[in-house]
Amino acid sequence: MAIIDTAAAPHEAHRDNHTHRDVNGGRLRPAVFGAMDGLVSNLALMTGVAGGSAGREAVVVAGLAGLAAGAFSMAAGEYTSVASQRELVEAELDVERRELRKHPRDEEKELAALYESRGVEAGLAREVARQLSRDPEQALEIHAREELGVDPGDLPSPAVAAVSSFGAFALGALLPVLPFLLGAGALWPAVLVTLLGLFGCGAVVAGVTARSWWFGGLRQLTLGGAAAGVTYALGSLFGAAV
């Protein structure tokens, strides 16, 4: 009979490469939001201007202005929002750190009660809490995760969020302008390129989030196309009224 070394044999899940992606970082959300916003908002802006019977030059200027204004606005907004959230978390961590320093026994009892409420036997819960509370930094990390739902060592970076948003928005917003910069004289190449970009971006994001690529692509294409259609109609209406 073959003897299996259980210490050396990996769990079935780990043999299947059971790993998790980073879901708490400050990169994916601002990058995705920035790219989608750049594609949709700049295409909508340009179609609105074109719908008002503006010439090619006006459409290009509107697209470039939308790119610059939107990219800086996205970066500033992301930086401020992520920085504010981080400052709030750090303030709460300071509160928890003071409590651990002033009332270590009470915090240990609180942690034991938490484990006990989750089904751990009372004696074992107290022992686990005692051992985990010996290191103040480890205790802080555990309390932060259990009470605040955050990892003190993995807080999102405002700078990363701002740079991701700026770059993603600028790249997305450049796509509708690109056909005009390459010599196109009509609107339809910009619309076509942007819709393809929306589909591709949606498909890539769906792959990252384990959704169907065609669903993600069609969802973004539909939303972006609808926004462009509405703004073109409004531009035509307002242009005729003027």
Please check the confidence at residue 23 and state whether its pLDDT lies above 60: no
The reply to whether 108 falls in a domain is yes
The 10s digit of each residue's pLDDT in 195-242 is 999 998 888 877 767 778 888 889 989 988 898 889 888 888 876 444
Q: What is the domain count for the chain?
A: 1
Read off the pLDDT band of 128 (50, 70, 90): very high
Q: Enter the DSSP assignment of 145.
A: I
For residue 13, tell me if it sits in a domain.
no
In a domain, 14, yes or no: no
Distance CA 231, CA 192 (A): 16
Q: Which residue has the higher pLDDT, 235 or 126?
A: 126
Let me know if residue 222 belongs to a domain: yes
Neighbours of 43 (CB within 10 A): 31
| Chain segment 28-79, per-residue pLDDT in tens | 666 777 888 899 999 999 999 988 777 889 999 999 999 999 999 999 998 9
Binned at pLDDT 50, 70 and 90, residue 104 comes out as very high
Across the chain, what does the average pLDDT equal?
84
> Is residue 9 situated within a structural domain?
no
What lies within 8 Å, CB to CB, of 181 at 6+ separation is: 60
45 part of a folded domain: yes
What is the extent of the structural domain holding 78?
Answer: 28-240
Name every residue whose Cβ is closer than 8 Å to that of residue 148 and which is 6 or more positions away in sequence.
Answer: 89, 92, 93, 96
- In-domain check, residue 73: yes
What percent of the chain is predicted at pLDDT more than 90?
51
Separation between Cα atoms, residue 79 and residue 61, nearest integer Å: 27
Which has more confidence, 7 or 152? 152
> Is residue 36 within 8 Å of residue 172, measured between CB atoms?
yes
- Would you state the pLDDT for residue 19? 55
Between 237 and 194, where is the model more confident? 194
| In a domain? residue 198 | yes
Q: Look up the pTM and report it.
A: 0.75
